[in-house]
């Protein structure tokens, strides 16, 4: 008797890794030979198989900076003749045979920067003409270190450290001031040549065409003290400092946008980079603790191209998977809903539930008033027991919700938790750590709350899990934050996106019930934003950058996509938590009454592992 698979079937490709969008996206990092002298704030130039690493900070007790110069041959590092003046976070240009070093920090306590420039001929360093403006931590680009280079922005480190916009051009003999960048930058990276350069610092990127600077796509993860490889149109930005943790993130630039690719094996800041986008080096850095490690990036020489509808078997994870179109959320729209009875604001004003069944609690002053939404209008219901604002809310439906934490002028942040049964509020077990402007997701019986401000310590690192009875502290976020967007349906699955760190961030982290993992970031850095959905299909909307914005982004489990904006800009409002297909935003800062409703067609697709039962 014939088997069904013999009558009708199809071939399924077996791969060891998931399909990738490009050779860069499919690239990997491998260990290389260690530096002879561990240090950070060093400079790197050259190629993966012929690189130069020089200067840096070795945490010398006498505050001395490194003069070491080492060359890499693709396998190991060899010490060469030293620089004349030790320094860290300097500009570096060139190759193993011809390099230029300028500026830098000659000491850290108190910080002092220099204008010194030295030229390397493959054997020794010689002092040449100084920069016009002494500074450190600028970005570098060069055509030829002997005749054409740019040193971009940086920080003046004297009695007062000040970021600068200055750009200087090197003609082989002297430095000349040229057009400034649009925004001051320090501890950034530079890519490209004297007539076509890219400068990156924090989240911002600016492109130089030989006469003017233009702001282009931002990094997904805001950070400083990273390293660079590649050109102005094909670049890698590696590692860095987020605030406060160090990062292993690597992003690739294709001339239009930045995409996160394979992380470094070792998270670090103040590292050096060299090479091209397809064949790069990352070496040295601070973990904290000095590092001598070298990592080599190689783009995939062959890979399975990612295609919509592709079904494949991943032999490494032992799973069948499918790459599916994510078309539902991008087609969604915002429409006006019923106005609140009482104008109010306050992130966590504890919108809970869905677009047809939600709660709104809070004001820009302590308030006990609660309103319930039925999909068209708001009705006042039972007050919470303790008036407060900037609390957090969770709940699958309005009659089964929690209102958590919050703030009153004295004593400040609160540990209070109150539970709603559709008729009245009851105080239940408190949080372990008081906080306000925290983010939360889940239900009345299974929830997560984290981040926020705690009086008097500032942004709290604590994450707590609710089991329906009590709160338990669990694994902390990788990045401290308050005023984040959130989505999730239980205490084992959800995400936090954006927030205040203490600057507005794009960072996104996913919770799997055990630990937090950094994933692709939202496109617009902001805090005080709303969120709705789950860990695999979510929305974030509104917030302040500053100023307030109406931007809406959708999450398909892999990346964020900008979709239809809200009708009005707003931040720190009540938001629903349970669905990426329907959501609401109610209230505003300053206190407002407007409600907007989001709806998207179902189903919307994600990249899923195929399972059988």
**CATH number of the domain enclosing 391:** 2.120.10.80
The model's confidence at residue 260, banded by pLDDT at 50, 70 and 90, is confident
* Structural domain for 101, as ranges: 31-298
Highest mean pLDDT among 43-52, 321-330, 406-415, 478-487: 43-52
Same domain, 83 and 231: yes
Report the alpha-carbon distance of residue 15 to residue 73 in Å, rounded: 33
Same domain, 344 and 280: no
* ∠ CA 258-264-266, rounded to 5°: 140
Q: Among residues 281, 298, 315, which one ends one of the domains?
A: 298
The model's confidence at residue 603, banded by pLDDT at 50, 70 and 90, is very low
- The full DSSP string for 293-356 is -EEEEE--SS-PBP-TT-EEEETTTTEEEE-----TGGG-EEEE-PPPSS-B--TTS--EEETT
For residue 153, give both structure tokens.
């922005």
Taking residues 116-136, what's their average pLDDT? 96
Task: Tell me if 135 is assigned to some domain.
Answer: yes
Report the alpha-carbon distance of residue 157 to residue 138 in Å, rounded: 12
Asked if 167 and 151 count as a contact pair (C-beta separation under 8 A), the reply is yes
Task: Tell me if 357 is assigned to some domain.
Answer: yes
Per cent of the chain over pLDDT 70 is 89
Same domain, 293 and 353: no
Same domain, 465 and 601: yes
Task: Tell me if 527 is assigned to some domain.
Answer: yes
For residue 394, give both structure tokens.
């969770």
Q: What would the pLDDT profile of 544-594 be if each residue is shown by its tens digit?
A: 998 999 999 988 888 898 888 988 899 888 887 555 556 788 888 777 888
Same domain, 291 and 348: no
Report the alpha-carbon distance of residue 301 to residue 278 in Å, rounded: 10
Please say if the pLDDT value at position 396 is more than 70. Answer: no
Task: Tell me if 393 is assigned to some domain.
Answer: yes
148-152, 306-310, 366-370: which range is least confident on average?
306-310
Same domain, 359 and 245: no
Per-residue model confidence (pLDDT) at position 573: 85
Burial class (CB in 10 A: 0-12, 13-18, 19+), 335: exposed
Same domain, 521 and 581: yes
Name 339's Cβ contacts closer than 8 Å, sequence gap at least 6.
Answer: 378, 593, 594, 595
Same domain, 358 and 507: yes
Per-residue model confidence (pLDDT) at position 421: 85
Task: Tell me if 65 is assigned to some domain.
Answer: yes
Q: What would the pLDDT profile of 11-53 be if each residue is shown by its tens digit?
A: 777 877 777 778 998 899 999 999 999 999 999 999 999 999 9
Same domain, 339 and 214: no
Task: Tell me if 487 is assigned to some domain.
Answer: yes
Q: Give the total number of structural domains in the chain.
A: 2
Same domain, 341 and 452: yes
Same domain, 56 and 170: yes
Task: Tell me if 307 is assigned to some domain.
Answer: no
Task: Tell me if 4 is assigned to some domain.
Answer: no
The model's confidence at residue 80, banded by pLDDT at 50, 70 and 90, is very high
Same domain, 291 and 392: no
């Amino acid at each position: 008797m014939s088997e069904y698979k013999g009558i009708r079937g199809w071939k399924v490709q077996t791969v060891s890794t998931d399909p990738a969008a490009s050779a860069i996206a499919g690239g990997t990092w491998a260990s290389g030979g260690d530096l002879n002298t561990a240090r950070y704030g060093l400079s790197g130039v050259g190629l993966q198989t012929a690189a130069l690493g020089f200067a840096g900070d070795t945490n010398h007790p006498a505050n001395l900076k490194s003069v070491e110069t080492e060359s890499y041959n693709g396998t190991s590092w060899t010490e060469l003749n030293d620089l004349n003046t030790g320094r860290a976070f300097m500009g570096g240009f060139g190759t193993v045979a011809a390099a230029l070093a300028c500026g830098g920090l000659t000491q850290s306590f108190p910080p002092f920067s220099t204008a010194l420039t030295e030229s390397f001929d493959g054997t020794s360093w010689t002092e040449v003409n100084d920069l016009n403006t002494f500074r450190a931590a600028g970005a570098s680009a060069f055509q030829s270190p002997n005749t054409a280079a740019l040193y971009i922005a940086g920080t003046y480190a004297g009695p007062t450290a000040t970021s600068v916009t200055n750009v200087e051009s090197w003609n082989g003999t002297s430095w000349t001031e040229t057009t400034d960048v649009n925004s001051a930058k320090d501890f950034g990276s530079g890519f490209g040549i004297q007539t076509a350069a890219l400068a990156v610092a924090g989240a911002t990127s600016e492109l130089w065409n030989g006469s003017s600077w233009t702001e282009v796509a931002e990094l997904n993860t805001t950070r400083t003290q990273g390293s660079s490889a590649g050109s102005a149109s094909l670049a890698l930005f590696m590692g860095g400092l987020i605030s406060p943790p160090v990062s292993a993130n690597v992003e690739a630039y294709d001339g239009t946008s930045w995409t996160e690719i394979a992380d470094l094996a070792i998270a670090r800041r103040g590292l050096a980079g060299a090479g091209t986008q397809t064949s790069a080096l990352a070496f040295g850095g601070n973990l904290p603790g000095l590092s001598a490690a070298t990592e080599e990036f190689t783009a995939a020489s062959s890979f399975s191209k990612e295609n919509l509808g592709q079904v494949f078997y991943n032999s490494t994870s032992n799973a069948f998977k499918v790459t599916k179109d994510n078309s539902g959320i991008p087609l969604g729209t915002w429409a006006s809903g019923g106005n609140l009875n009482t104008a109010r604001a306050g992130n966590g004003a504890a919108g809970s539930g869905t677009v047809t069944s939600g709660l709104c609690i809070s004001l820009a002053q302590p308030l006990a008033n609660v309103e319930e939404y039925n999909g068209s209008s708001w009705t006042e219901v039972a007050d919470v027991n303790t008036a407060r604002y900037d609390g957090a809310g969770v709940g699958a439906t309005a009659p089964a919700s929690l209102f958590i934490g919050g703030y009153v002028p004295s004593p400040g942040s609160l540990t209070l938790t109150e539970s709603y049964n559709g008729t009245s509020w009851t105080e239940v077990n408190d949080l372990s750590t008081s906080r306000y402007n925290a983010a939360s997701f889940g239900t009345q019986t299974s929830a997560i709350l984290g981040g926020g401000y705690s009086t008097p310590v500032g942004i709290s690192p604590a994450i707590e899990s609710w089991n329906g009875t009590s709160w338990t502290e669990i694994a902390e976020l990788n990045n401290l934050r308050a005023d984040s967007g959130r989505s999730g349906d239980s205490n084992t699955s959800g995400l936090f996106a954006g927030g205040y760190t203490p600057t507005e961030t794009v960072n996104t982290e996913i919770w799997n019930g055990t630990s937090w993992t950094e994933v692709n970031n939202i496109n617009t850095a902001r805090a005080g934003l709303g969120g709705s959905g789950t860990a695999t299909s979510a929305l974030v909307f509104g917030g302040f950058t500053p100023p307030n914005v109406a931007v809406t982004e959708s999450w398909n489990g892999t990346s964020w996509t900008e979709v239809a904006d809200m009708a009005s800009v707003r931040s720190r409002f009540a938001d629903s938590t349970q669905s990426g297909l329907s959501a609401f935003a109610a209230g505003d800062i300053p206190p407002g009454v407007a409600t907007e409703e989001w709806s998207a067609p179902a189903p919307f697709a994600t990249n899923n592992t195929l399972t059988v039962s």
